[in-house]
Amino acid sequence: MKTARIKSGKEFAIGKILCIGRNYVDHIHELGNELPAAPVIFMKPASSVISDGESIVIPAYSNDCHHEGELAVLIGKTGKDIPLDEALEHVAGYGVAIDLTLRDVQGELKKKGLPWDIAKGFDTACPLSDFTPAEQIADPQQLQIRLSVNGEMRQDGPTSLMINPVREIIRHLSTIFTLEPGDIILTGTPAGVGRIISGDKLVAEIPGVARVEVSVAL
């Protein structure tokens, strides 16, 4: 069983990992996508999670795996059709995640109009940090997402640039899914995504909140 750990010591069994795509304009432009009329939602299984110090294993069916650093939100209490002004009350903690994407596989599946779960949900596709208790974060829209590969900064963007802020993401998701303790929301990635290869060392960090360091298996 995969667990999400809050730095205060409490642990949650990981449930649904709900991911928001195309939530930063610059990232949308760098991939040549259109601005969405509503949040783009996809999921990762709990089995895709790895922790600090573990290794990414790029599947043999891909030759173009990309990193996407993201603010991760851990849900702490059950909610359905959550009002916007109550959304953040359902958050137990904030962390950082890397949404790994097999860009070549995703591209081919999208061309055919097929689901792209295998490009997003493979084993090791979700490096995830521990979580800082929500009450210690004054505003999740005033954080900085940074990701480096082999010491080179590739992503460095503020959460203030989200098209859909955290409270709106929670409100919207709760109209579709019942949110439960242990569910994790990945809130989208800023510009600067890029390919990783065997031997690379990745560090994703939100200063003052969370950090996760992983490497790509040889």
Q: Number of folded domains in the chain? A: 1
Closest CA to 143 of 165, 126, 122: 165
What pLDDT, on the 0 to 100 scale, is given for residue 28? Answer: 57
Could you tell me where the beta strands, DSSP code E, fall in 125-176? 126-127, 132-133, 144-149, 152-158
Answer yes or no: is pLDDT of 34 > 80.
no
Say how far residue 25 (Cα) sits from the centre of its chain. Answer: 16
CATH number at residue 179: 3.90.850.10
Domain that holds residue 16: 3-72+80-216
pLDDT in tens, 91-139: 999 999 999 999 999 999 999 999 999 999 999 999 999 999 999 999 9
Query: In whole numbers, what is the pLDDT of the chain averaged over residues?
Result: 95
In this predicted structure, what is the pLDDT of residue 100?
98
Q: With a cut of 90, say whether residue 190 has pLDDT above it.
A: yes
pLDDT of residue 178: 98
Helix (H, G, I), strand (E, B) or coil at 169: helix
pLDDT digits (tens, 9 = 90+) for 37-50: 788 999 999 999 99
